[in-house]
C-alpha cells in the first residue's frame, strides 16, 4: 500500500516549456487535489476532482490544467511554464466526506522555472 505517489520529485524547466505532473493513489479515494505551497502562503488549491472524469477549479487555477481519466490518477499540466509557477506541488486524496475526512498527501514535486 503506497498511499499517494507523485512523479517526478524534482524538475527544472525553462520559461515556456510544458510538463505534466502525475499523481497516483491506491486507497480507492473519490477526491483528489492539487495544491501548491509557497513560503508564507500555505497550501493553495489549484484544481480538484470529485471522481473519475470530473475536475473543478480551486483558488489558483490559472496556468494549469488537469485530467482524471482513471480514478487512481490525477494529472496536473503546465502548458507554458512561468517563473511564478516555481513552487512545491502536492497532490492529495480523500474520501467523499471531504468535510470530515483526512487528506493524504504525496511527497511533493519541487518545480523550478527559470
Partner 1 sequence: RKEVEQDPGPFNVPEGATVAFNCTYSNSASQSFFWYRQDCRKEPKLLMSVYSSGNEDGRFTAQLNRASQYISLLIRDSKLSDSATYLCVVNWGSSASKIIFGSGTRLSIRP
Residues that bind partner 1 (CB under 8 A): 31, 33, 35, 40-45, 48, 50, 56-59, 90, 97-100, 102-103, 105-108
Residue number, 77 or 108, with CB nearest to partner 1: 108
58 touches 47 (CB < 8 A): yes
Contact 25, 32 (CB under 8 A): yes
Q: Minimum CB separation from partner 1 for residue 27, in Å? A: 14
Dist. CA 44–CA 89, nearest whole Å = 10
Based on CB atoms, which residue is closest to partner 1, 5 or 17? 5
Contact 5, 106 (CB under 8 A): yes
The least CB distance from residue 90 to partner 1, in Å, is 6
Please give the DSSP secondary-structure letter assigned to residue 113.
E
Nearer to partner 1, 31 or 75 (CB): 31
Amino acid at each position: 500500500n503506497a498511499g499517494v505517489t507523485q512523479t517526478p520529485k524534482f524538475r527544472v524547466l525553462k520559461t515556456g516549456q510544458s510538463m505534466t505532473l502525475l499523481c497516483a493513489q491506491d486507497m480507492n479515494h473519490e477526491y483528489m487535489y492539487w495544491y501548491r505551497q509557497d513560503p508564507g502562503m500555505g497550501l493553495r488549491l489549484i484544481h480538484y476532482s470529485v471522481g473519475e472524469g470530473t475536475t473543478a477549479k480551486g483558488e489558483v487555477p490559472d496556468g494549469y490544467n488537469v485530467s482524471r481519466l482513471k480514478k487512481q490518477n490525477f494529472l496536473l499540466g503546465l502548458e507554458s511554464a512561468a517563473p511564478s509557477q516555481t513552487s512545491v506541488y502536492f497532490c492529495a486524496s480523500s474520501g467523499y466526506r471531504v468535510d470530515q475526512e483526512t487528506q493524504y498527501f504525496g511527497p511533493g514535486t519541487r518545480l523550478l522555472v527559470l
